[in-house]
Structure 1
Amino acid sequence: MTDSTAAWAGGRVHVRAPGKLNLSLEVGDVQPDGYHDVASAYQAVSLYEDLWAQPADDFTIAVTGTVDVSGVPQDDRNLALRAARLLAKEVGHTGGVHLDIVKHVPVAGGMGGGSADAAAALVACDALWGAELGTAGLQRLASRLGADVPFALMGGTAIGTGRGDQLSPALAKGRFDWVIVPAEGGLSTPEVYSRLDELRDRHGVDIAPPPRSPAVAPAVLHALRAGDADALAEHARNDLQVAALSLRPDLRAVLELGEQSGAHMGIVSGSGPTLAFLTGTPEAALELQVTLAASGRTALHVHGPVAGARLM
């Protein structure tokens, strides 16, 4: 049992959690429960969410950011607030908490910003309330909140199977430099999966059928272990990309521009619409960032892998 008297020294906790990229995402057929089995290679990148938690009588939240946060709920629909309530129930905390979130990861952009918020809330409240659940305990709660939350806790590079929440760390040598291009307006993840199902049903000849058992290609793992951006670019894939581009055909021109301007490859991040361009060096990333910015796009230089949610 814990209460507010067990609070973190100073009474306010700051946690930072990273956004993620799907370096490879293979999507299986829809299951009877409406979900899809997936196999994904995740990499945490240096675009972060910042969360502060402090004692309160109730559970409240305030969200600001450098990205458009108008679509982010500030009530119990918010995943971070749900994470705080779940942890409170788990440890018997009888008070509340106020969460302040400053978002930098695009909202509904396929980079797991909401999941990063939830992971940050778990770490922050665990510290604030002196719960000391440990990594295994927090991961168990994270898996109940959503497929990407466990990875936001873990960080680094990992392979996710099942719904993406069954994680195995993956060795990634060195540093991978990316240029991220957010798009105006988000995409609904369920809508993108539904469109993929429609496309597979309607265009059986034009689109690959769903794999019986999704897996990350060995060549992707080899590229990560070698720190080889060229090889990763050759073998990376995202089964959701065709569906995201079907819903947002305007993204094709940006993909083409990035690839024509020096990127090893461009890929839709997760369910989109954020685009990620892989480069060979930090200098090449900076050049690409300047080129894309000159074309009127927002372009951000990030790198991975980075650590998961952590106290600051």
Structure 2
Amino acid sequence: MTIAWTEEAVHVRAPGKINVFMRVGDVQPDGYHDVATAYQAVSLYEDVRAWPDDEFSVAFGGSIDTSALVTDGSNLAIRAAKLLARATGVSGGVRLEIDKHVPIAGGMGGGSADAAATLVACDALWGTALPKEDLLALAAQLGADVPFSLTGGTAIGTGRGDRLSPALATGSFHWVLAIAEFGLSTPGVYGELDRIRTEDGRNVPRSPVVDAEVLQALRAGDPVLLAQSLHNDLQEAALRLAPGLRGILELGESHGALAGIVSGSGPTLAFLAADADSALELQVALSAARLHAIHVHGAVHGARVLAH
């Protein structure tokens, strides 16, 4: 096919996410778990710039340490670009530069945001103009959180988290993120949850669902109601693997957070604040305790091209 190439870089920004609710079902034959989650995209972003090239390459910068990231063909952004090229018949490559701000292995979908932003950037760069449904189908092949990184906003995810339905959320929710200096392996956290459940002989939900109270709180734009319904089945497993997180949760809640939760598989902690002023006070308190704390708000848009 003929591709409308551009010589200028395409710049795409994609958000990190918080799982404000997460229920985990039993492990499936394919090794994945059925989940029911409420995602909210928040104002901590990954910036991807794409230039036309003969090969596929990626380089990283940004506000976090990216030295441990792989830059070969196993990198999720490279895989995203190659997947789109195969799907659309593009014969060239792309040079990607990614400024990372979402913590790595932090439970906020940073790698998924990179993949989603790469799909959008390459689609614009190569002029392939895929319909959103086709981009979402490609995103689902790359990872459970990638489709949500494309859509952003607030949404319910089922299946592996990749079957999305929009959730109505009004107003703006203010969060303070406590960013850990280490990561947690997502498969490792799920494995720990399976061990806990086996040890305790717990009943595991066959078809997990998101509680109605969560949807009502989001629809009402009410942080107090949402705080009462925050839940994450993975939290106990993450706290077992990283016990120090428990004290940080207690610290945040003692300094005015309405509630705190492990985001996704952790170790990032998300504290819900009543409003912007309360979030700022909490950020200051956590920073004074020598924690890396960031104030963000949600919901925000998914991956989108930024004008030059």
Interval containing the TM-score (normalised by the shorter chain): over 0.9
1:202 aligns with 2:199: yes
TM score, norm. by length of structure 1: 0.97
TM-score normalised by length of structure 2:
0.98
Q: Is 1:156–1:306's contact at 8 Å kept on the other side of the alignment? A: yes
For the pair 1:288 / 2:253, whether they are aligned, the reply is no
Q: Aligned match of 1:257 in 246, 251, 272?
A: 251
Given the alignment of the two structures, is residue 224 of structure 1 paired with residue 218 of structure 2, yes or no? yes
Match of 2:165 in 1: 168
Query: Residues of 1 paired with 2:104 and 2:253: CA distance?
Result: 24
1:25-64 counterparts in 2 under 5 A? 25-64=22-61
How many equivalent residue pairs? Answer: 306
Q: CA RMSD in A?
A: 0.8
- The one of 295, 298, 305 equivalent to 2:299 is 305
**1:7 aligned residue (2, 5, 8):** 5
Q: Does 1:125 align with 2:122?
A: yes
- CA-CA distance at 1:99 after TM superposition: 0.3
Q: What is the CA-CA distance between 1:68 and the residue it aligns to?
A: 1.8
Range that drifts further, 154-163 or 10-19: 10-19
Cα drift, residue 2 of structure 1: 3.7
Matched-pair contact (CA < 8 Å) for 1:176–1:303: yes
51 and 68 in structure 1: CA distance in 2 versus 1, 3 angstrom threshold: same
The structural deviation recorded for 1:173 is 0.6
* Long gaps (5+) in structure 2: none
User: Aligned to 1:299, what secondary structure does the other structure show?
Assistant: strand
The one-letter code of the counterpart of 1:160 is G
- Give 5+ residue unaligned stretches, structure 1: none
Contact 1:160 1:166 in 2 (8 A): yes
Alignment correspondent of 1:81: 78
Aligned-pair distance for 1:32? 1.4
Deviation at 1:294, TM superposition (A): 0.3
> Are the counterparts in 2 of residues 2 and 131 from structure 1 also a CA contact under 8 Å?
no
Q: Which secondary structure state, in structure 1, belongs to the residue aligned with residue 168 of structure 2?
A: coil
Deviates more, 1:18-27 or 1:130-139: 130-139
Question: Which residue of structure 2 lines up, in the alignment, with residue 242 of structure 1?
Answer: 236
Provide, for residues 149-206 of structure 1, a one-character-per-residue CA deviation record: whole Å limited to 9, x for no partner. 00000000000000000000000010000000110110000000000000000123xx
1:204-242 CA distance string (max 9 Å, x none): 3xxx53212100000000000000111111111000000
Equivalent residue of 1:144, what SS? helix
1:286 Cα deviation after fit: 0.2
Residue equivalent to 2:15: 18
Question: Offset of 1:34 from its aligned partner?
Answer: 1.0
Moved over 6 A (4+): none
Q: For structure 1, which segment, 132-141 or 105-114, has the greater mean C-alpha deviation from structure 2 after superposition?
A: 132-141
